[in-house]
């Protein structure tokens, strides 16, 4: 598995710290698979960028919380997005400005969308490890309700899973 067994709880705690206006600690949340690291480094080499040396992924959460909370997502939503984006089946998506993994499986997000979660990494500040900098639910045309209410699927009794 890409995420460590305690990663979801640690990610949630860091996001709650961000929500409260605090400064979250840098935490290790998981690892790239051997294939993901190989594919990332092959693309980065081809683009003339330095390789990622470590399989380990670290996390703070400030940017993720700020950008996803602004869209109306809850901390639980963000944790789900991170888990899907860092799946062992996620594939490399990279260009000169971005190194990312994206889930190839569509996921019902509970807001009427089928999304492909994309994890964006910052690859220089925490060298030799990559930092999970952002997560984007690609295809979220219907954003969550800004008021702190349940997801639309919950209103109909469906479990967004």
The answer for residues whose C-beta is within 8 angstroms of residue 25's C-beta and 6 or more apart is 14, 60
Among candidates 74, 61, 45, which has minimal Cα distance to 120?
A: 61
> What are the backbone dihedrals phi and psi of residue 141, each rounded to the nearest 5 degrees, phi first?
-65, -35
Tell me how far apart the alpha carbons of residues 73 and 134 are, in angstroms, rounded to a whole number: 13
- The pLDDT value recorded for residue 96 is 86
Residue 52 DSSP symbol: P
- Average pLDDT value for residue range 136-154: 70
The answer for residues whose C-beta is within 8 angstroms of residue 101's C-beta and 6 or more apart is 32, 36, 40, 85, 86, 90, 91, 92, 93, 118, 119, 121
- Average pLDDT value for residue range 147-159: 41
Q: Where are the alpha helices (DSSP H) in the chain?
A: 7-19, 34-46, 62-70, 75-85, 152-155
| pLDDT of 146 strictly over 70 | no
pLDDT digits (tens, 9 = 90+) for 83-142: 999 999 999 988 888 999 999 999 999 999 999 999 999 998 888 899 999 999 999 999
- Average pLDDT value for residue range 77-87: 97
- Average pLDDT value for residue range 43-69: 95
- The pLDDT value recorded for residue 2 is 82
The mean predicted confidence, pLDDT, of the chain is 89
Q: Of residues 124 and 43, which shows the higher confidence score?
A: 43
Tell me how far apart the alpha carbons of residues 85 and 75 are, in angstroms, rounded to a whole number: 15
Q: Residue 155's pLDDT band (boundaries 50, 70, 90)?
A: very low
């Amino acid at each position: 598995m890409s995420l460590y067994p305690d990663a979801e709880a640690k990610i949630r705690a860091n996001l709650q710290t961000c929500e409260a206006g605090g400064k979250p600690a840098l935490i290790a949340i998981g690892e790239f698979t051997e294939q993901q690291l190989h594919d990332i480094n092959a693309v980065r080499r081809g683009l003339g960028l330095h390789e990622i040396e470590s399989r380990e992924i670290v996390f703070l959460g400030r940017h993720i919380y700020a950008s996803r909370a602004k869209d109306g997502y809850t901390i639980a939503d963000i944790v789900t997005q991170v888990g899907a984006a860092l799946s062992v089946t996620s594939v490399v998506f990279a260009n000169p400005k971005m190194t990312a993994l994206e889930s190839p499986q569509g996921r019902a997000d509970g807001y009427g969308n089928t999304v492909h979660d994309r994890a964006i990494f910052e690859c220089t500040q925490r060298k030799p490890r990559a930092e999970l900098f952002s997560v984007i639910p690609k295809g979220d045309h219907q954003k969550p309700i800004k008021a702190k209410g349940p997801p639309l699927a919950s209103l109909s009794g469906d479990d967004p899973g």
